[in-house]
Amino acid sequence: MSATTVAPVAVKKNYLTALNEALAEEMARNPLMLCQGEDIGKLGGAFGVTEGLQATYGDHRVVDMPISEAAIIGSAVGMALNGMTVMAEMQFIDFISCGFDQIVNMMATYHYRTAGEVHIPVVVRGPAGAYGGGALYHSQMNEAWFCNSPGLKVVCPSTPYDAKGMLKAALRDGNPVIFYEIKELYRKREIEEELPTEDYIVPLGKAAIRREGKDITLVSYGQNVYHCLDAAAELENVGVSAEVIDLRSLVPLDEETVFNSIAKTSRVIVVNEAPMTCGFAGELVARISTKAFHLLDAPPSRVTRMDTPVPWVKPLELHVLPTVDKIVAEAMRIVKF
C-alpha cells in the first residue's frame, strides 16, 4: 500500500508576523543589515515585531539602544554612511519627533547634498495610529511632517501581504523610508492572509484598488482603508457603488490610479486619521482640484481627525476620528451634490 501524501496546510499570517518575517529574511539576505531600537533585542520589541531576531543574528546586529530617538536615528545615518543598511525602530511613532532633526536635516538631505554620490539605506519604522485607547502620546499619525521633507519616502501598508512586501522593498531601496505600521492591525484576525513562500516585494509608489465601484471614489491608507470598505458595503445597501483605493505609498504617490478612478466615478472623498489642517488628505485634495478638476461632478472632500489631540475615553476618541458612519454620511452628501 502506497503512502498517502499529505498536502501542507496553508497558514494565514497576521500583519505583525508578516513584518517579523520581512526583517528576518532581509537580515539573512543582507549581512550588512542591522536593526536597532529600544527593547528590540531581548524583549523583541514592545509589540513583538523583532521577536527572535537577536537570538538568531546576535546582539551586534539586533541592538538594544538607549531611550534616545535622536541617538537611534543619528547613529543609523552614520552606519549607513559606512555601508550598512539599518532598520531603526521607534517604539511608538509618536516619539519620532525626538529624532526629527536627524531625519529631516541629515537623513533626508545626504543624497542631494552629495550630488547623488551617497545613499542612506535607513528604514525608520514603528507602530502608529489611534482607535485603541492610546490617547495623545500613543495615537498619532504624523506622516505629513515627513511627506513635507524632500528626500524621504513615506509608506503605510494596510495588509499583511503589503506589510511584508513593502518593508522588504523599503530595506532594499537605498533611500531613507519612513514606514508607518498600524498597531491596531498587528494582530487583527480578520485581515490575516496566506503569504507567498517565495521571496517577493511590493513596489513603493503604487496604489491598490481594494473594491471597484462607479459612483464615488474613497481614497485612504492604513486602518482607514477598512473603514472605507465597511462604508462601501453600507453604501451598496442604498444603491451607491463606491470604489476604494488604498494608497499604500504617500511618497512616491500614485496619482494615476486615483485620477483614473475619479474619471470613472466623478466624485471623491479622501479619508485619513491625521488632523485636518495641513494633513496629507488636504494635499491629495489639492492635487485632485488642480489636476483632475475637469473630471469632477462635485467638490472633492475629506474625512479626517479633528484638529485636536486624540482623547483617551473611547466615545471621545471616536468623536474626533473618522468612522464608518462619518464616511457614509459624507459620501451621501457628495453623491447628492
Cα separation, 173 vs 170, whole angstroms: 5
Cα separation, 207 vs 256, whole angstroms: 9
Half-sphere exposure in the Cβ direction for 282 (13 Å, CA)? 12
Query: Cell numbers of 251, please?
Result: 511618497
Q: Are 53 and 89 spatial neighbours (Cβ–Cβ below 8 Å)?
A: no
Query: Cell numbers of 169, please?
Result: 522593498
Count Cβ atoms within 10 A of the Cβ of residue 5 and give its class: 0-12 exposed, 13-18 middle, 19 or more buried.
Answer: exposed
Amino acid in the structure at residue 228: C
Cis amide linkage into residue 252, ω under 30° from 0: yes
Measured on CA atoms in the order 16, 178, 158, 94, is the torsion positive or negative? positive
Cα separation, 159 vs 202, whole angstroms: 11
Closest CA to 311 of 184, 138, 136: 136
**CB 276: neighbour CB atoms within 10 A?**
15
111 noted as active-site residue:
no
Q: What H or E segment, with its residue span, contains residue 127?
A: strand 122-128
Q: Are 179 and 292 spatial neighbours (Cβ–Cβ below 8 Å)?
A: no
Catalytic pick from 138, 227, 294, 319? 138
Q: Are 85 and 121 spatial neighbours (Cβ–Cβ below 8 Å)?
A: yes
Q: What stretches of the chain adopt beta strand conformation (E)? A: 12-13, 33-37, 62-64, 85-89, 122-128, 153-155, 177-182, 193-194, 208-211, 216-220, 242-246, 249-251, 268-275, 301-305
Active-site annotation, residues: 138
